[in-house]
């Protein structure tokens, strides 16, 4: 494989690795439930729903103080500890956070099958954005991103080792790959931010915000890696490149050779 082709492959695999890492983070056990909770909350406009149902939930909690309270009027049925419901009192925002977190965790672990519409069933068409958003952020997709992360990471590592053994620095190609990932993430973030105002539905707006947050995470990761690689490349060229240049074989100038071997025999 030629040097230019090897560098291109290293840059491509670096970009794919960083994008896979961002997907792995977005669908992780922390970000995934949080984003899905936001989506579920937008389906019912949770901040408006809670004040009108808070007293009913607290009444159920007082009847069963040592048990869980089933909330089945939401897009996702959830169980909350009665003690938690009673502890929030009249603080609607804290109760909203509890419900949002519970819905997000259930969507993350069980998938779109737990979503319910007004008729009590799940009727999400293939083209429904909610369907694909839940699928792409679920725990099953997190496993797919893990495999992609491992595969791209191993290939990138092998290419870097191969370049190092050939006495070629892989840093410029790694930096180029990080730059490609940053550009792709920035374009995703920019497009998501631009089209968000085109939607009137709160659900569609939340989906666009979720996409924008995922793109921002990818942009942040790519820029951080690019900064580290740029610093390493600067150190490499400052410390090691001059040494390598000095250790090259010295070939005398023609004038020096002439002075050495053309002395007068007399």
Determine how many CB atoms are found less than 10 A away from the CB of residue 153: 16
Domain boundaries, the chain: 1-27+139-236, 30-137
pLDDT tier, 251 (very low <50, low <70, confident <90, very high otherwise): very low
pLDDT of residue 123: 60
| pLDDT, average across residues 155-159 | 93
- According to DSSP, the residues that pair with 170 across neighbouring strands are none
pLDDT of residue 6: 81
Q: How confident is the model at residue 249 (pLDDT cuts 50, 70, 90)?
A: very low
Question: pTM for this structure?
Answer: 0.81
**Residue range 57-67, pLDDT digits in tens:** 889 888 888 88
Q: Are residues 11 and 3 in contact, defined by beta-carbon separation less than 8 angstroms? A: no
Q: What separation in angstroms does the CA of 15 have from each of 12, 42, 231, 256?
A: 5, 33, 18, 51
Three-state DSSP string of 146-206: HHHHHHHHHHHHHHHHHHHHCCCCCHHHHHHHHHHHHHHHHHHHHHHHHHHHHCCCHHHHH
Binning pLDDT at 50, 70 and 90, where does residue 150 land? very high
> Out of 35-39, 124-128, 130-134, which region has the weakest mean confidence (pLDDT)?
124-128
């Amino acid at each position: 494989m030629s040097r230019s082709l090897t560098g291109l492959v290293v840059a491509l695999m670096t970009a794919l690795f960083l994008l896979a890492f961002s997907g792995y983070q977005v669908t992780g056990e922390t970000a995934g439930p949080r984003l899905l909770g936001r989506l579920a909350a937008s389906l019912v406009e949770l901040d408006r729903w809670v004040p009108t149902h808070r007293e009913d939930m607290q009444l159920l909690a007082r009847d069963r103080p040592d048990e869980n309270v089933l909330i089945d009027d939401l897009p996702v049925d959830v169980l909350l500890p009665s003690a938690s419901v009673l502890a929030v009192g009249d603080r609607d925002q804290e109760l909203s956070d509890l419900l949002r977190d519970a819905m997000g965790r259930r969507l993350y672990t069980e998938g779109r099958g737990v979503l319910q519409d007004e008729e009590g069933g799940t009727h999400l068409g293939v083209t429904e954005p909610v369907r694909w958003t839940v699928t792409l952020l679920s725990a099953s997709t997190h496993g797919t991103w893990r495999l992609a992360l491992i595969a791209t990471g191993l290939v990138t590592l092998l290419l870097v080792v191969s370049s190092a053994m050939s006495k070629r620095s892989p840093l410029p190609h790694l930096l180029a790959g990080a730059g490609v990932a940053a550009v792709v993430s920035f374009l995703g973030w920019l497009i998501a931010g631009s089209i968000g105002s085109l939607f009137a539905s709160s659900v569609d707006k939340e989906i666009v915000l979720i996409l924008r947050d995922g793109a921002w995470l990818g942009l942040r990761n790519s820029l951080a890696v690019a900064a580290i690689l740029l610093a390493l490349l600067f150190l490499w060229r400052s410390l090691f490149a001059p040494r390598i240049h000095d250790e090259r074989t010295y070939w005398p100038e023609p004038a020096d050779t002439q002075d050495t071997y053309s002395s007068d025999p007399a």
